[in-house]
């Protein structure tokens, strides 16, 4: 019956495939895109971040993280942990409430949505009546108080979300004992804040937006105190002992109120406008933290003078005479203070401030003098300058790893030594199998080295190439260090800096040799830098060579950007990777491909005009090859000719624009306006839809020809020691593939080590293959006699790979966007091929050789091609027979930047950007799986005092 | 099935005046006719005319004189021989092309008289057109027998870059008959034909024709860009199955009654069709790509593929040329490359028919 099986449907192979391949999206690295809410549980020591797309992420100790997604994909407005519980409640902008819990399941905790609920008013009531504005999870853990736009406070039972109507606190009841003249002036308006009394759970403080604050007795269902605020209220905060609380206001002021049994309508103790006397912006949140030495920490968000500093995103910390206004790089979403939550402790003794800004997380150490920042182990802002490329290196030798860490630690001296303060949960994931580096190139000319071994993507070291060049902006220019007034005492914190002074500095290609520590980096203006790792600071001259890729081609005029100007004389470089040679391509077009051979000491680079080979030992250009087609005019224009760079001076105005946009998107209210906008948008959509129907999108069907644009664009470069000329002698070779489907092979003669400096490296063109389908060549690979891909340079020398088989005949694999083809060597004749596009209509975007090990046995592994297509599918294709093994949908096909950013590892994992600031990590392997696995211990829920003692702040003595 | 056929009547016109005719009879194995080239060689051998270019024709069951000049029509000729295959051989330069074609035999003129006494017809000079092998096809309608009448499968042959394919496609929607009634489904349509382009010049495709398949692969569920990529990837041998917007020029099959215009065939498109086409394509698809290899010794010399070894997976034109270092000075030399591949490979790779094409000068291949 075997003959009835379809070819390729071998059951043994099918079983093996199950042991080898498995697709998982394992973890999201980086900073959540568009965060919208922050929550913290001092009990669990976990932080929660909600996003505008409805995601909720929990973070604790490094490696402890959870993710959940609301089905509605609506903005998360608020997050509240239930006191002493592994539960939290989220409020979305559609006014729905969601109860999430962390439950243990087969040895690890999981975040799951348990219930959802939308508050409904009586029939006919306006939607504002039930629009939730404030949420208070009561320490009893049984009820949730929901303040609304109408001023009423509803009580719902947990976890069922059943409304306890008899316990509703209506605004009428609240206003009963308020003086007539006050209540006439101000109706209650919406509930701005709800705060439970820190000592007495039967009392809650209710703050209404117009300024009225009421202390409400839950037992007797009546207001015990009325605090008649005169300013529009923003937020409230209890002092630890419950004797005072503090309110902050829209006009930039804060007020202290006493709470005592004798005065039921007290006057404020203190009313202060910290950045007065000129009109100030609102203080939207405030903390009052007591300390042993008596001087409190007063920490508040906003309050800056409206006219001169209204555009700053600041949080001020005041402690006695010390005052710093931390100036964030983006809008502050929310912040919290980590302080002693031991109930026995007399003082708050704040230790750290955690600030969620729109683009990054900043943690300030409040214990150490000078209040330095703490280096976060996760939530790194990958996009502090836009990512332009990435490069992954697996299995880094320990020596190099330590040297990179050491170089990085010298850069991080200004960070606090404080251990990471958010340390809840236990990471139970196995140790990462190996040390992996992810290198990201950025628009500002930097390369960042990330520890990508485990769940926490952690910055190890940052390399800047800017120092080599003279740019318009002084590298030390920082708009805050100069001309900053003493008052307000602003201090810039954070690393997010998306504005590039010179887009030509952008990094386009990176190649790191993990054995030798050589690094090649190439950029937007045709610059290729070769660097070496040096553990010490050094000052030296960077050698400079030009590679004229147009050669004898005449009549061309480069219309693009100019090359970067270099610094004359020696340049000081800090410890780390230090450039020693710069090869400048002419014309200075963006470098499109790069290869480094650390054993031969050669670097190859390609642009849209051609490619070249440089001997970085002798610092001599070996050869250049022009690939430009004479009729290709487009290739002459620089891609940046129409893009203007954003100068620093423009940043402020940008910030203002952005700020005004943000503020116009009001948190609530103005609903009539919003619907109008929606209507207009819908109409616009309809109009464009109609227009589309009138003039449909058409696609031209035409064979590619040699005259197409950008055929000379060099897409891939590859070094190989193989049989190029005859089958008896192998030699070093360089292979290049172009956009027009041409493959060039050059035979290289590299002098033996002892004469390496004396004799020149020679190159001779040996072959040229024109693929008739003319699709861009995206990958070239040589397979040895055992059909194994040739090892990386120095891999054999370091005993990390078997020597390639030089007995059997080698094969050449050429991957174009449309086909995979295997050719024989040295006589190039086609052996077999896989025509992907003709069969499926998809195109190859990324391709890498990956090693897959079996999860069943340790002694079986095989090499396959991991392929990402333009439709966002990932396919695994076997070597050397080019059989499709398996296919997984991975990225939405509309997500062009996600697809472009994808990088595969050598062991079947990969990364791609799901937003400018986040990498999604995925795994194709059953064996190598890096995913969070952690436990958050459930507290004993029932009535023992043990919990109460431990949990502190949210005292639960309800019956007392 | 080893029934021997009786073979050929050979005739050679050696000019208008002198006519010398020879007859030979020989047998062929019907089940294994072999290749046209072998057959041609056999004819030359049998007639002892090793170096003379000749035209070969045969009479088919309808009595038409039809040419034999490639494997396909050779196989057709052998398979339809009943039991005798009559073959006519003419020296090429003397050939009377008008003798070929349909109705040539039914014009009540003996084919032999056509051949032997060509001057009978030359009262009015007619335009001499060359043999089909001297043309190259630009398009054809194929698989008429297996497609619903409402569909048309068009093959476009693209040679070189001289004539663009010249058409555009767009998204649209079409109405289908489904078990749930009429449904509007998205589809891909031809939106524009470029004047002077291949697509327009064939007359087989028109604006608003719905594209159903590209080289045997259904386009339903695929995006416009995907279909575009598929078409471009197949551009050298593009086979498009369309449902013509104008359904009045459909091929009407004999077996069908004229009443049924095929409206119900939409949903009942035989599922086996893609397989059939795919099989058909297996042998054909190799024709679309001939990668060119330029090596560092030899001159640009087009070498037709050597006699097929039946294991070659792909034909390659090897141009050997000499490079003086990296400059482009070419010196002549001649070296031939035979394709070879190990048997073990061919077991693993997709099953491909042995390559049986001949090569033209530009390296592309004709298939009739």
DSSP B147-203: S-TT-EEEEEE--TTTS---EEEEEEEEEEEETTEEEEEEEEEEEEE-TTSHHHHHS
- Say if residue B18's pLDDT is above 80: no
Return the SS3 of B18. Answer: coil
pLDDT confidence bin for A172, thresholds 50/70/90? confident
Of A623, A703, A766, the CB nearest to B236: A703
Average pLDDT over residues A369-383: 92
- What is the reported pLDDT for B265? 38
Supply the ipTM of this predicted assembly. 0.77
B293: chain A residues, CB-CB within 8 Å = 767-770, 828-829
Is B313 within 8 Å of A700 when comparing Cβ atoms? Answer: no
For chain B, percent of residues with pLDDT exceeding 70: 50
Which residue is closest to A765 within chain B, CA to CA? Answer: B326
**pLDDT per position as a tens digit, A768-778:** 999 988 899 99
Split at pLDDT 50, 70, 90, the class of A287 is: very high
Residue A957 predicted with pLDDT over 90: no
pLDDT at residue A171 is higher than 70 = yes
Give me the mean pLDDT over the A783-810 stretch: 85
pLDDT above 80: residue A216: yes
Cα(A930)–Cα(A65) distance, integer angstroms: 13
Closest residue in chain B to residue A625, using alpha carbons only:
B326
Low-confidence winner among A654-658, A873-877, B235-239 (lowest mean pLDDT): A654-658
Tokens matching residue A958:
């309800």
Distance from CA of B35 to the nearest CA of A (A): 24
> Would you state the pLDDT for residue A540?
92
Q: What mean pLDDT is predicted for residues A662-683?
A: 46
- Give the closest of B285, B296, B316 to A829, CB-based: B316
Q: For A546-556, how does the pLDDT look when each residue is reduced to its tens digit (9 = 90+)? A: 999 987 666 67
User: Could you tell me which residue, A954 or A833, shows the higher pLDDT?
Assistant: A833
* CB–CB contact A839 B217 (8 Å): yes
The pLDDT of residue B283: 38
| Percent over 90 (pLDDT), chain A | 61
Which positions 819-848 of A are in contact with B (Cβ < 8 Å)? 819, 821, 824, 827-835, 837-843
A767 to B295: CB separation less than 8 angstroms, yes or no: yes
A766 contacts on B by Cβ (under 8 Å): 295-296, 323
Instruction: Give the closest-approach CA distance of A879 to chain B in angstroms.
Output: 11
* Per-residue model confidence (pLDDT) at position A435: 94
Q: Which residue has the higher pLDDT, A215 or B337?
A: A215
Chain B residues closer than 8 Å to A742 by CB: none
With beta carbons under 8 A apart, name residues in chain A contacting B215.
838
Report pTM: 0.78
Which tens digit of pLDDT belongs to each residue from A597-641? 999 999 999 998 999 999 999 999 999 999 887 766 555 554 443
Nearest-by-Cβ selection for B224 from A697, A763, A819: A697
Minimum-distance CB partner of B337 among A829, A834, A837: A829
Q: Which range is least confidently modeled, A136-140, A913-917, B55-59?
A: B55-59
pLDDT of residue A640: 40
Query: What is the pLDDT at residue B73?
Result: 81
According to DSSP, the residues that pair with A191 across neighbouring strands are A208
Q: Which of A151, A289, A278 is nearest to A211 (CA)?
A: A151
Q: Please name the residues between 332 and 351 in chain A that touch chain B, using a CB distance below 8 Å.
A: none
Per-residue pLDDT tens digits for B26-51: 777 777 778 888 888 888 888 788 77
More confident residue, B117 or A35: A35
- Taking a C-beta distance cutoff of 8 angstroms, is the pair A736, A613 a contact? no
Subunit contact B170:A883, Cβ cutoff 8 A: no
Chain B hits for A835, Cβ within 8 Å: 233, 285
What's the mean pLDDT when you consider all of chain A? 86
**C-beta separation of A121 from A130 below 8 A:** yes
Most confident of A351-365, B109-123, B216-230: A351-365
Is residue A944 pLDDT above 70, yes or no? no
Per-residue pLDDT, averaged over A731-745, amounts to: 94
- pLDDT at residue B368, rounded to an integer: 29
CB contact under 8 A, B291 and A765: no
Q: Which chain A residues are Cβ-neighbours of B326 within 8 angstroms?
A: 623, 625, 763-765
Per-residue pLDDT at A948 exceeds 90: no
Please indicate whether, in this complex, the C-beta atoms of A830 and B167 are within 8 angstroms of each other.
no
Q: What pLDDT sits at residue A703?
A: 80
Asked if B325 lies within 8 A of A764 by C-beta distance, the reply is yes
Contact with chain B for residue A695, Cβ under 8 A: no
Confidence of residue B117 (pLDDT cuts 50, 70, 90): very low
Which residue of A705, A763, A842 is in closest CB contact with B161?
A705
C-alpha distance from A30 to closest chain B C-alpha (Å): 32
Residue A510 has pLDDT above 90, yes or no: yes
Cis ω for the linkage preceding B83 (within 30 of 0): yes
Give the gap in angstroms from C-alpha A366 to the nearest C-alpha of chain B.
Answer: 56
* CA–CA gap between residue A720 and residue A734 (Å, rounded): 6
B233·A775 Cβ contact <8 A: yes
A368: left (phi over 0), alpha (psi -120 to 50) or beta: beta
What residues contact B207, with CB distance under 8 A and at least 6 apart?
B190, B191, B192, B193, B245
The answer to whether the Cβ–Cβ distance between B232 and A769 falls below 8 Å is: no
User: Dihedral angle at the C-alpha atoms of B61, B67, B69, B72, nearest 10 degrees?
Assistant: -30
Q: Do A840 and B230 touch (CB under 8 A)?
A: yes
pLDDT at B328: 36
The beta-carbon neighbor of B192 closest among A698, A704, A818 is A698
Read off the pLDDT band of A174 (50, 70, 90).
confident
Region A530-543: mean pLDDT is 93
Give the list of residues 6+ apart from residue B164 with CB closer than 8 angstroms, or none: A702, A703, B194, B197, B198
Whether A702 and B164 lie within 8 Å, measured CB to CB:
yes
**Cα A742 from Cα A426, distance rounded (Å):** 54
Question: Chain A closest CA to B45's CA: distance in Å?
Answer: 34
Q: Which of A578-592, B12-26, B227-241 has the lowest mean pLDDT?
A: B12-26
> How confident is residue A2, by pLDDT bands cut at 50, 70 and 90?
very low
Most confident range, picked from A624-638, B1-15, B40-54, B231-245? B231-245
Nearest to B339 among A765, A829, A871 (CB): A829
The Cα of A827 is separated from the nearest Cα of chain B by a number of Å equal to 8
- Enumerate residues 6+ apart whose C-beta is below 8 A from A341: A42, A43, A951, A952, A953
Nearest to B291 among A623, A700, A769 (CB): A769
- B160 versus A853: which is more confidently predicted? A853
- Residues 6 or more apart whose CB falls under 8 angstroms from that of A604 comprise A593, A594, A595, A596, A597, A611, A612, A613, A614, A717, A719, A734, A736
pLDDT of residue A449: 96
pLDDT of residue A660: 41
pLDDT reported for residue B282: 40
Which of chain A's residues have a Cβ under 8 Å away from the Cβ of B296?
725, 747, 764-767
- Among candidates B228, B233, B340 on the partner chain, residue whose Cβ is nearest the Cβ of A838: B233
Q: What is the pLDDT of residues B190-201, one digit of tens each?
A: 998 988 888 888
For residue A779, name the pLDDT band (cuts at 50, 70, 90): very high
Q: What is the pLDDT of residue A684?
A: 56
* Contact criterion met (CB < 8 Å) for A765 and B227: no
Cβ contact A838–B230 (<8 Å)? yes
| Average of per-residue pLDDT across A29-39 | 95
pLDDT band at A399 (very low <50, low <70, confident <90, very high): very high
Verify whether the Cβ–Cβ distance A881 to B348 is below 8 Å: yes
Q: Which domains does chain B have, with CATH numbers?
A: 21-105 (3.10.20.90), 139-249 (2.30.42.10)
Q: What is the pLDDT of residue A306?
A: 92
User: Least CB-CB distance to B232: which of A704, A821, A831?
Assistant: A704
Interface size between A and B, measured as CB pairs under 8 A: 162
How far A859 CA sits from the closest chain B CA (Å)? 24
> Shortest CB distance from A767 goes to which of B169, B199, B296?
B296
């Amino acid at each position: 019956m075997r003959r009835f099986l379809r070819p390729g449907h071998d059951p043994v192979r099918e079983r093996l495939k199950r042991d080898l391949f498995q697709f998982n999206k394992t973890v999201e690295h980086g900073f959540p895109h568009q965060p919208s809410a922050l929550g913290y549980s001092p009990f669990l020591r976990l932080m929660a971040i909600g996003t505008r797309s409805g995601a909720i992420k929990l973070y604790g100790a490094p490696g402890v993280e959870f993710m959940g997604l609301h089905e509605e994909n609506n903005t998360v407005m608020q997050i509240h942990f239930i006191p002493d519980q592994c539960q939290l409640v989220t409020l979305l902008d559609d006014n729905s409430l969601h109860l999430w819990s962390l439950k243990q399941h087969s040895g690890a905790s999981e975040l799951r949505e348990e219930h959802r609920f939308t508050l409904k008013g009586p029939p006919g009531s306006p939607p504002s009546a039930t629009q939730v504005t404030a949420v208070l999870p009561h320490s009893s853990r049984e009820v949730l108080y929901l303040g609304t736009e109408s001023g009423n406070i509803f009580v719902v039972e947990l976890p069922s979300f059943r409304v306890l109507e008899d316990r509703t606190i209506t605004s009428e009841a609240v206003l009963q004992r308020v003086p007539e003249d006050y209540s006439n002036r101000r109706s209650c308006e919406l509930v701005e804040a709800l705060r439970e009394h820190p000592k007495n759970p039967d009392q809650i403080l209710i703050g209404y937006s117009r300024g009225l604050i009421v202390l409400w007795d839950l037992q007797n269902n009546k207001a015990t105190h009325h605090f008649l605020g005169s300013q529009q209220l923003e937020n409230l905060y209890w002092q630890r002992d419950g004797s005072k609380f503090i309110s902050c206001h829209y006009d930039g002021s804060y007020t202290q109120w006493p709470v005592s049994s004798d005065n039921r309508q007290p006057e404020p103790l203190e009313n202060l406008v910290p950045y007065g006397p000129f009109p100030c912006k609102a203080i939207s949140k405030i903390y009052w933290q007591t300390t042993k030495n008596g001087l409190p920490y007063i920490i508040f968000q906003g309050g800056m003078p409206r006219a001169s500093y209204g555009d700053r995103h600041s949080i001020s910390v005041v402690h006695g005479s010390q005052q710093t206004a931390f100036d964030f790089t983006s809008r502050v979403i929310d912040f919290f203070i980590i302080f002693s939550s031991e109930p026995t402790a007399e003082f708050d003794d704040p230790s750290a401030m955690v600030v969620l800004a729109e683009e990054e997380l900043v943690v300030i150490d409040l214990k150490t003098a000078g209040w330095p920042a703490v280096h976060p182990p996760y939530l790194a802002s990958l996009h502090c300058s836009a990512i332009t490329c990435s490069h992954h290196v697996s299995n880094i030798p320990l020596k190099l790893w330590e040297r990179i860490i050491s170089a990085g630690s010298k850069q991080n001296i200004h960070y606090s030594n404080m251990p990471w303060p958010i340390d809840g949960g236990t990471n139970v994931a196995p140790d990462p199998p190996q040390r992996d580096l992810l290198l990201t190139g950025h628009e500002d000319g930097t390369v960042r080295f990330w520890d990508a071994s485990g769940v926490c993507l952690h910055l190890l070291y940052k390399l800047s190439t800017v120092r080599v060049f003279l740019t318009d902006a002084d590298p030390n220019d920082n708009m805050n260090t100069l001309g900053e007034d003493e008052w307000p005492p602003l201090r810039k914190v954070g690393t997010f800096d998306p504005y590039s002074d010179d887009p030509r500095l952008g990094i386009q290609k990176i190649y790191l040799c993990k054995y030798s520590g050589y690094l090649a980096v190439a950029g937007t203006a045709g610059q290729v830098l070769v660097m070496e790792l040096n553990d010490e600071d050094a000052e030296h001259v960077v050698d400079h060579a030009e590679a004229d890729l147009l050669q004898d081609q005449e009549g061309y005029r480069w219309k693009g950007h100019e090359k970067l100007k270099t610094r004359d004389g020696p340049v000081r470089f800090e410890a780390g990777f230090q450039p020693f040679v710069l090869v400048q391509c002419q014309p200075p077009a963006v470098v499109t491909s790069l290869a480094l051979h650390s054993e031969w000491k050669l670097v190859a680079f390609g642009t849209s005009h051609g490619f070249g080979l440089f001997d970085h030992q002798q610092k001599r250009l070996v050869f250049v090859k022009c690939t430009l087609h004479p009729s290709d005019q487009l290739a002459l224009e620089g891609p940046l000719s129409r893009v203007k760079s954003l100068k620093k001076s423009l940043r402020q105005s940008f910030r203002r624009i952005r700020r005004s946009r943000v503020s116009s998107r009001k948190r609530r209210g103005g609903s009539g306006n919003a619907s109008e906008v929606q209507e207009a948008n819908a109409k616009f959509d309809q109009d464009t839809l109609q227009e589309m129907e009138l003039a449909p999108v058409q696609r031209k069907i035409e064979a590619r020809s040699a005259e197409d644009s950008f055929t000379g664009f060099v897409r891939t470069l590859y070094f190989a020691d193989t049989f190029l000329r005859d089958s008896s002698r192998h030699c070093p070779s360089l292979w290049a593939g172009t956009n027009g489907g041409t493959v060039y092979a050059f035979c290289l003669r590299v002098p033996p080590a002892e004469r390496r400096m004396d004799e020149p490296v020679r190159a001779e063109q040996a072959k040229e293959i024109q693929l008739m389908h003319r699709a861009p060549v995206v990958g070239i690979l040589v397979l040895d006699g055992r059909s194994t891909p040739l090892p990386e340079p120095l891999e054999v020398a370091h005993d990390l790979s078997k020597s390639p088989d030089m007995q059997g005949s080698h094969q050449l694999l050429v991957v174009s966007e449309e086909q995979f083809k295997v050719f024989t060597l040295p006589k190039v004749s086609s052996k077999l091929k896989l025509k992907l596009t003709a069969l499926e209509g998809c195109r190859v975007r990324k391709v890498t050789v990956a090693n897959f090990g079996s999860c069943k046995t340790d002694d079986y592994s095989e090499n396959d091609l991991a392929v990402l297509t333009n439709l966002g599918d990932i396919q695994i294709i076997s070597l050397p027979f080019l059989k499709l093994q398996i296919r997984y949908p991975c990225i939405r096909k509309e997500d062009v930047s996600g697809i472009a950013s994808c990088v595969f590892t050598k062991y079947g994992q990969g990364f791609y950007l799901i937003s400018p600031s986040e990498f999604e990590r995925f795994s194709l392997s059953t064996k190598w799986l890096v995913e969070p696995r952690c436990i958050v211990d459930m507290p004993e829920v029932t009535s023992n005092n043990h919990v109460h003692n431990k949990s502190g702040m949210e005292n639960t003595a309800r019956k007392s | 099935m080893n029934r021997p056929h009786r073979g050929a009547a050979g005739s050679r016109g050696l000019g208008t005046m002198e006519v010398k005719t020879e007859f030979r009879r020989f047998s062929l194995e019907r089940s294994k006719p072999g290749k046209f080239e072998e057959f041609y060689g056999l004819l030359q051998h049998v007639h002892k005319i090793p170096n003379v270019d000749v035209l070969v024709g045969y009479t088919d069951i309808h009595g038409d004189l039809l040419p034999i000049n490639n494997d396909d029509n050779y196989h057709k000729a052998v398979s339809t021989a009943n039991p005798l295959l009559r073959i006519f051989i003419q020296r090429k330069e003397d050939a009377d092309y008008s003798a070929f074609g349909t109705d040539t035999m039914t014009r009540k003129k003996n084919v032999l008289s056509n051949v032997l006494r060509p001057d009978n017809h030359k009262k009015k000079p007619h335009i001499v057109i060359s043999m089909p092998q001297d043309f190259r096809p630009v398009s054809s309608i194929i698989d008429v027998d297996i497609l619903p009448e409402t569909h048309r499968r068009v093959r476009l042959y693209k040679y070189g870059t001289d004539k663009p394919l010249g058409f555009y496609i767009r998204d649209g929607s079409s109405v289908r008959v489904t078990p749930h009634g009429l449904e509007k489904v998205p589809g891909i349509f031809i939106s524009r034909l470029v004047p002077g382009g291949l697509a327009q010049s064939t007359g087989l495709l028109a604006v608003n024709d719905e594209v159903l398949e590209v080289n045997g692969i259904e386009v339903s569920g695929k995006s416009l860009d995907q279909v575009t990529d598929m078409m471009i990837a197949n551009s050298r041998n593009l086979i498009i199955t369309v449902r013509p917007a104008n359904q009045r020029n459909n091929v009407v099959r004999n077996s069908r009654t004229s009443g049924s215009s095929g409206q119900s065939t939409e949903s009942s498109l035989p599922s086996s069709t893609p397989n059939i086409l795919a099989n058909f394509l297996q042998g054909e698809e190799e024709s679309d790509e001939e990668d060119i290899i330029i090596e560092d010794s030899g001159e640009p010399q087009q070498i037709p593929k050597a006699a097929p070894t039946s294991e070659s997976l792909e034909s390659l034109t090897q141009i050997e040329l000499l490079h003086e270092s990296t400059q482009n000075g070419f010196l002549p030399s001649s070296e031939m490359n035979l394709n070879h591949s190990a048997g073990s490979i061919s077991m693993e790779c997709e099953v491909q028919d042995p390559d049986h094409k001949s090569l033209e000068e530009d390296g592309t291949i004709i298939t009739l």
